Amino acid sequence: MPPKYVDNVYEPLSEDVEDLLGRFQQKDSIRFDDFSAIWRDMRFSDVFLGIFGVGEMREFCKVAMITAAKYFLPPYCFQVRVGGLYLMYAFYNTQLVTPPVHIRLALRDWDYVQKFLQDSMVSGHLDVVYIYRKLVSSKAFQYTAMPHSLNFRKPKRPKNQKLCSEMLARATAVNDLLSEDYLEEVTNIQNHYEKMKQDLEEHNTFHQTKEEDEEKPIYEEDSHSRASLLASIKKKSYGKPDDHGSKSRRHRQGAVHSSSSGPEQEHGGREVNPAKPLSLRARTWKALGKNTEKSELAPWLLSAPDQEGVPLRQKWQGRFKP
C-alpha cells in the first residue's frame, strides 16, 4: 500500500466526504434525490480519475469503501448515516475496477445495521430501505469477522481518527438546552415540591392519629361488653341447675339405669316391661290402696275375701279329675 493510504485512511478523500455529507445535512432531508443532486454538483465521481495503476486503483477503491462505511455506522446521527449509505451505493456503482471492490461489514456491526433498517421502516423512509436492498441484491457487502483485513505486519499503535463533532449524534442535546436560569427554576420547583410532600405527610399522620384516638374508647367498650357476656355465660354454665334441669337429668339417669340393669322380676319371676301399661288387676289393687307385691292370692282372683283364713277355690275345680 502506498504511504499516502495509512491505516486505510486518505485525508483528502475524508475531507471531501465530510464536505459532501455536510451539505446533505444542511438540506435537512434524507431523500436520495437530494443526495444525488449534491453528488452531481460536486462532480464527486471524478475521484476515481487520474489513477492509472490497477493495484493502486484497487487500493484507493478499498479506502473509499471503508471511508463511506465509517459514516454509515455509529456514533454519527441518523441523517449522516443515511448519507453514508448513499455514499457507499455511489462509490460501489462508479468505481473503475473489475471485479468491483466489496464493502466490508463486520459481524460486530450487524446489530447496528438491523436497528437502523428497523427505524427506517417504522419512520417510513423507503428510500433508505430501497438503497440498502439494492446493495444487498448486487452482492456489494462482504460479511467479515473484522472491519479490516488481517495482515502480519509489525504491530504498531493505531492512529486515532478525528471525528467531525458536527455530524455526531447529540447524546447530550438535553444538557445544551439547560441554561442557568432554567436550572435555578427547576431547583425552586423541586424544593417547593419536597416541602408540599412533607406537609402532606404530616397532615395524613395527624388525621390518622386522631382517628385512632376516637376509635379507641369504642373498642375498649366493646371489649368490656364481650368480656361481661362471656363471664355471665360461664356463670350460668357452672352454677346450680334448676328444677327442670334436675328432673330432666334424673329422668335420663333412670332410663339409663333401667336399660343397663335388665328387665325387672315381678310376681313370681314374671318379666314386666316398664313401658307396658298396667293391667286391670294392678289398676284395681292400686285403686283399693293395697299392696300387690307380697300377695299370696292366685293371679286369676280379681278381688280378696272379707274374712281372712277362708280358703278359696275355683268354681270349676271339682268338675275335672286329674
What does the pLDDT look like over 193-252, one tens digit per residue?
A: 888 888 888 778 877 777 666 655 555 556 667 778 878 777 776 655 554 445 555 555
Kindly report the CA angle at 182 between 179 and 188, in degrees rounded to 5?
Answer: 145
The domain locations on the chain are: 11-150+161-171
Helix pair angle (54-72, 78-94), 10° resolution: 160
CB-based contact 249:241 (threshold 8 Å)? yes
Instruction: List beta partners, residue 141.
Output: 103
Instruction: Give the pLDDT confidence of 189-209 residue by residue, as tens digits.
Output: 988 888 888 888 877 887 777
Question: What DSSP string describes 117-133?
Answer: HHHHHHHT-HHHHHHHH
Handedness of CA 55, 11, 39, 140 (dihedral sign): positive
> Sorting pLDDT into bands at 50, 70 and 90, what band is 174?
low
Provide the whole-model pTM.
Answer: 0.51
Contact 78, 90 (CB under 8 A): no
